Structure 1
Amino acid sequence: MIKDSHQTTEHYKKLVEVLGKDHVKETINSPYDFIHIAKKGISSSIVKNFKDYFNISREDTAHMLNISSPTLYRWIKAKKPLDRNYSILLFELTDLFLYGIEVFDSKENFNKWLNLPNTALGGIEPHELLEVPGGISKVRDILGRIEHGVYS
């Protein structure tokens, strides 16, 4: 069985590079590794790496993590270890954004797509789903359909 491009070793190496090799020392081979790594605790500094790499404002990053911007600022400033669930969510968002960039061939094109109403999502803009339970997987499903040429 052929793996999708977002599930390759190179994809996960890029994910570790984006979040910071000094923060994510383990090898990632699948999304299940996100859970194992998150249990050990990760510095909130990876949030800064995420937002800087993808050119996302602190406000938008906080919104995706379902926290306030001042709270996110305090966490990063104090280098507070992230709770397991926030760590996993950040891994999943990074994974999704890298996949989106692979599908659309650039950060700019993916960011434009994230902010356009999508018929396959009931007219909702994909970025609106990133903060709701199950939203990341819905956006990932649409990206998979686009990658495989299915109308979305």
Structure 2
Amino acid sequence: MSASTKFVPSRSKASFWSQIGVPPRGRKLYEAIEAGFDFATYQKLATATGIEKKELARITNIKSATLSRRAKDGKFSSDESDRLYRYAEVYNASLRLFENNKIKAFQWMHNPVKALGYIAPSDMLKTSAETEEVLSVIGRLEHGVFN
């Protein structure tokens, strides 16, 4: 975990997806991504996952100038929304892996993982292929397959 990445726990008992205001699956999710997430979703995602907003922007490849524009506009593009969704999906999967232990899920997300070539899962969300690999590793770990 980088020095700038520290965990700040969320206190909400609501489901992860309802905390961030994003449908977890299906047509409503696809439509939300295509329309672009509200800027509030970014703030809710940072809070729910315990990540600093600046670090979330880095991981999702949203430049600070773009982030400022999105704050004024109130919406992200569909591409930016998709990147935010990727982070949310992987974080939620890691949360399930660690039986809702937010600290362990956060630590796993932000530290190098042997099965990912010693790259942190949060650094493997730039493409859908990388994201699928992280989700595959989580699935293998859930089923006790460690290689």
Query: Paired residue for 2:107?
Result: 112
Aligned structure 1 segments of 4 or more residues deviating by more than 6 angstroms = none
Identity rate, percent: 23
For residues 92-142 of structure 1, the C-alpha deviation after alignment (integer angstroms, 9 at most, x for no partner) is 321221111111121110122123322211122222212345222111111
Q: Are the counterparts in 1 of residues 94 and 108 from structure 2 also a CA contact under 8 Å?
A: no
Q: Which runs of 5+ in 1 are unaligned?
A: 1-12
1:110–1:15 CA distance, 2 compared to 1 (3 A):
closer
Query: Paired residue for 1:18?
Result: 19
Query: Paired residue for 1:38?
Result: 33
The whole-number CA distance in structure 2 between the counterparts of 1:16 and 1:115 is: 20
| RMSD, aligned α-carbons | 2.3
TM-score (norm 1): 0.74
The whole-number CA distance in structure 2 between the counterparts of 1:40 and 1:116 is: 33
Q: Are the counterparts in 2 of residues 114 and 126 from structure 1 also a CA contact under 8 Å?
A: yes
Q: Which runs of 5+ in 2 are unaligned?
A: 1-13
1:79, distance to aligned residue in structure 2 (A):
4.8
1:34, distance to aligned residue in structure 2 (A):
3.0
Q: Structure 2: which amino acid aligns with 1:111?
A: F
The whole-number CA distance in structure 2 between the counterparts of 1:133 and 1:148 is: 22
1:49, distance to aligned residue in structure 2 (A):
0.4
Counterparts of residues 3-152 of structure 1 (less than 5 Å)? 14-20=15-21, 24=22, 28-30=24-26, 33-76=28-71, 78-105=72-99, 106-152=101-147
1:73, distance to aligned residue in structure 2 (A):
4.1
Q: Are the counterparts in 2 of residues 34 and 91 from structure 1 also a CA contact under 8 Å?
A: no
Query: Paired residue for 2:6?
Result: none
Q: Which 10-residue stretch deviates more, 89-98 or 141-150? A: 89-98
For residues 75-97 of structure 1, the C-alpha deviation after alignment (integer angstroms, 9 at most, x for no partner) is 23x25211111112222321221
TM-score (norm 2): 0.76
